[in-house]
Amino acid sequence: MSKGLSIRQASLAGIIGLISAAAISVSAQRASTGTTVEPQGAVTRAYNEFKSLTEGKNADYIPALAKVDPNLFGIALVTTDGKVYTAGDVGTEVSIQSISKVFTMAQVIQEQGLESVEKRIGVDATGARFNSIIAVEAVKTVVGTGAPEMNPLVNPGAISATSMVIGATADDIWKKIIGIYSDAAGRPLRVLNDVYESESATNQRNQAIGALMFAYGYIKNNWQQAVDLYTRQCSVGVNAKDLGMMAATLAAGGRNPMTGKRIIDESKVPGVLAVMATAGLYDDSGKWLYHTGLPAKSGVGGGIIAVSPGKFGIAVVSPPLDDAGNSVRAQRAITQISNNLGGNPYAAFREEAVATSGRR
């Protein structure tokens, strides 16, 4: 009898041990992504599913971008506790393009506060293409009222944001810009000179936008310098892993989860994410948000970053774009991976509701 009891006790102890080991591994995965779905599996599945997708076309209004290999495809998901999950080519660099706008906005907000951007540039979607001049004309009448219907993620607002970075010389300003990008990526980044030269030779439209933003009072001085620095910031080389880390830095409240370096105060990150949510994919931002709930930003180099606050940052690089200027494969892969991992912040209540009602 007593022997039987001790055998039962022993097997009970074994079962309890197994259950608690399983619980620890489940909670470890929860800490990483917020669900029990295995992140590497989700990333690999999306890579395999979308690698043969051929929709879209490289941007060609900047000649250097047309030459980038359209088959390049890399995915990097980085959790807020620093775990990295990748698939495909996460080492080849493309130009960061408009994704840079997020981190220049972050620099201005960090230096001058959330109101600085809201008052000078605005934080509203324009509903227009990223380089729309009509959008500039539409807002010019409200300069000085404190509510321009513009934002730092479209070209006119982005060139204005670059003009707001404080520095005595162009070099001082540039050091700050490349500094915050590098800190977010966790390694020193550099300009891709072929892209910089190519865009500098063909950016007359951005020069016109810069001149208009100066004429209407958004840019206070030296608009030519602002356009040049903006062109340089768009030419910074990044790979999918860099972009994943930059996204994760925002997901982690402004602190790089690998290096521990802070790029922006935690209290300021929600403002950055809000503009990404409303304008990160330009006139397709609403559609994107509807399917993912994620603040995100695209670039015509083919990258997209997306942020699941408190959980993970994810990035995909794939150059072919749709008509709105957003990478086709990146949108598809991020949507699938994030939704599989429970990344949508608007759906977060579901898991809690099921857990607390005991119906799990």
Q: Are strands 74-79 and 84-88 parallel, antiparallel or unpaired?
A: antiparallel
Q: Is 181 in the site for ligand DON (CB under 6 A)?
A: no
One of 229, 234, 236, 240 touching ligand DON (CB under 6 A)? 234
Q: Is 131 in the site for ligand DON (CB under 6 A)?
A: yes
Q: Which is nearer to ligand DON, 249 or 298 (CB)?
A: 298
Q: Is 97 in the site for ligand DON (CB under 6 A)?
A: yes
- The residue sitting closest to ligand DON, measured at its beta carbon, is 98
Q: Is 318 in the site for ligand DON (CB under 6 A)?
A: no
Closest separation in Å from C-beta 247 to ligand DON: 16
Closest separation in Å from C-beta 182 to ligand DON: 19
Q: Is 233 in the site for ligand DON (CB under 6 A)?
A: no
Size of the site for ligand DON (CB under 6 A): 12
Q: Is 98 in the site for ligand DON (CB under 6 A)?
A: yes
Q: Is 126 in the site for ligand DON (CB under 6 A)?
A: no
Half-sphere exposure of 109 (CA within 13 A, CB side): 29
x-or-dash pattern for ligand DON, window 143-162, by CB under 6 A? ------------x-------
Q: Which is nearer to ligand DON, 59 or 341 (CB)?
A: 59
Q: Which residues in this chain contact ligand DON in the complex, by CB under 6 A?
A: 97-98, 130-131, 155, 199, 206, 234, 298-300, 325
